[in-house]
Structure 1
């Protein structure tokens, strides 16, 4: 059966003046237009094509692969906007249509928006929607505190950044938990910080508790090893400097430096942090640091 919105493996049946007709094992047929072909396929050859509908409501095959598949989310650019809807670039010859009724906010040409691609029940056409909430639910979640998840940033608000969790749920990253630049459409690994009684999910970009500190120590050590063993930050540095360099909070930075010092891997001086390079140096420098602390 030929499936719209998916990659189909079909057989080339015949060549015509307008293109090649492809078929499945159940007798279905679809046109692959000449304008979509760079190299002509052979009759009886099996090829992979994406299926969607053209402006005349006919099934059409293309050899191109879309940026996003059916029932997935993606951040796409608006190529054109009108009173009836917007047309987004999703990698195919025909742009993805987002009806005006499916826009959370009026889309503007040249801007990027996170949309859900779905099959319209009435027209049976593939369309997009920026009204993401209707495709997400927090009613039944298999999430727990500290769990690693995949997120996509969807929107910034006065509270923080809204995000999609594992393609199914909605979450929020509060501004005071953000120590790096974030943009709509960003996809990355994050962690469940808190699941509230009202089923709202707080998300953190860093591991919680001591796991976060251990991860941060690795980042700091790598920096020291790649920068001649010196870091011009210390426990008196302002939070903005620390956030800009390492995308972590000052509290995490101080705990991480403390862990490294207790393991005799760094020396802390008024001008910054120094990497300890050998055992003898560690003992001498640690004594010096102890005296300075006194």
Structure 2
């Protein structure tokens, strides 16, 4: 397998469009646009080999961020629902991450401008794909999180999505996990999220929460309920005995959080409950 790797090749001859290179008796073309510094016939140079648009092996002196042997961070430059996600690896051709390597739900696919950590793989059909790294493959950039991180707010990038939870990594290389109970919505792959470190484990990884602490969360949750009520002309078929799954589906919060926020609103005289419904009091000021 030659594609996706660096190779040392001899410059055999120059052509009007570039150079012909030689490796083990086989010729490869180096287009003038792929030359990064002056070279001479007879010189041995290092080039990266990839497939062009016609699936021909071609060489470039540009240095990619990833290879079939090295992981790296690359930027998402295009998202095609019918094809997958294209990333810029640092050469004159964008590389595809196929849907089979992306989250099941398209809403969790990375967006243009997001970064993902991956490596290259050559298919049997003469194509180079980018493959997302699994959490256990971040050894090259992983650092042990200090205990002093506990309780601190951190920003981290999503590296793996899942129903049970979300794997993330900070800019410093600290690996973290967000349990499903510690997020209101599942963040997308490649997204940068900000949350609070709730635990630093003995293995140097940390647990993170995207839900504000109770004293702040209750205010935010109350605003969510009020906004929902106002959008329904002041009435909703939810109250403090509604099913937890229904509450989480609609309000993206636990039943306990919902009850706390609802209790606060009732104590403040903004809402009242009747026959399994919650109603907004007519004199409630939406700007309060």
Query: TM (normalized to structure 1)?
Result: 0.54
The answer for the alignment partner of 1:111 in structure 2 is 101
Are residue 274 (structure 1) and residue 260 (structure 2) matched? no
Provide closer, same or farther for how the CA distance between residues 271 and 17 of structure 1 changes in structure 2, counting only shifts above 3 A.
farther
Are residue 147 (structure 1) and residue 150 (structure 2) matched? no
Secondary structure, in 3 states, of the residue corresponding to 1:193?
Answer: strand
Q: Deviation per CA, 1:207-259, whole angstroms, max 9, x where unpaired?
A: 12211111111111111122211121111111100100011111111101111
Secondary structure, in 3 states, of the residue corresponding to 1:90?
Answer: strand
Contact 2:221 2:258 in 1 (8 A): yes
The answer for the alignment partner of 1:59 in structure 2 is 61
Tell me, in whole angstroms, the C-alpha distance in 1 between the residues paired with 2:280 and 2:233: 8
Tell me, in whole angstroms, the C-alpha distance in 1 between the residues paired with 2:210 and 2:116: 23
Are residue 231 (structure 1) and residue 231 (structure 2) matched? no
Tell me, in whole angstroms, the C-alpha distance in 2 between the residues paired with 1:163 and 1:264: 41
Q: Deviation per CA, 1:33-54, whole angstroms, max 9, x where unpaired?
A: 7xxxxxxxxxxxxxxxxxx966
Q: Deviation per CA, 1:79-138, whole angstroms, max 9, x where unpaired?
A: 9xxxxxxx97315742449xxxxxxxxx976422884269xxxxxxxx977122431223
User: In the comparison of the two structures, how many residue pairs are matched?
Assistant: 205
The answer for the alignment partner of 2:107 in structure 1 is none
Contact 2:157 2:190 in 1 (8 A): no
The alpha carbon displacement at 1:154 in A equals 1.4
Contact 2:155 2:195 in 1 (8 A): yes
Tell me, in whole angstroms, the C-alpha distance in 2 between the residues paired with 1:199 and 1:254: 36
Matches within 5 A, 1:93-132: 93-96=92-95, 110-112=100-102, 115-116=116-117, 130=133, 131-132=137-138
The answer for the alignment partner of 2:86 in structure 1 is 89
The answer for the alignment partner of 2:168 in structure 1 is 163
The alpha carbon displacement at 1:155 in A equals 4.3
Secondary structure, in 3 states, of the residue corresponding to 1:171?
Answer: strand
The alpha carbon displacement at 1:139 in A equals 3.7
Are residue 201 (structure 1) and residue 206 (structure 2) matched? yes
Tell me, in whole angstroms, the C-alpha distance in 1 between the residues paired with 2:207 and 2:239: 30
Tell me, in whole angstroms, the C-alpha distance in 2 between the residues paired with 1:231 and 1:146: 37
The answer for the alignment partner of 1:285 in structure 2 is none
Contact 1:153 1:163 in 2 (8 A): yes
Tell me, in whole angstroms, the C-alpha distance in 2 between the residues paired with 1:218 and 1:133: 42
Provide closer, same or farther for how the CA distance between residues 88 and 178 of structure 1 changes in structure 2, counting only shifts above 3 A.
closer
Provide closer, same or farther for how the CA distance between residues 144 and 226 of structure 1 changes in structure 2, counting only shifts above 3 A.
same
Secondary structure, in 3 states, of the residue corresponding to 1:202?
Answer: strand
Contact 1:78 1:108 in 2 (8 A): no
More displaced, 175-184 or 251-260? 175-184
Query: TM (normalized to structure 2)?
Result: 0.55
Provide closer, same or farther for how the CA distance between residues 231 and 183 of structure 1 changes in structure 2, counting only shifts above 3 A.
same
Tell me, in whole angstroms, the C-alpha distance in 1 between the residues paired with 2:73 and 2:159: 14
RMSD value, Cα = 4.3
- Any unmatched runs of 5+ in structure 1? 1-15, 20-29, 34-51, 62-69, 80-86, 98-106, 119-126, 280-294
Contact 2:196 2:209 in 1 (8 A): yes
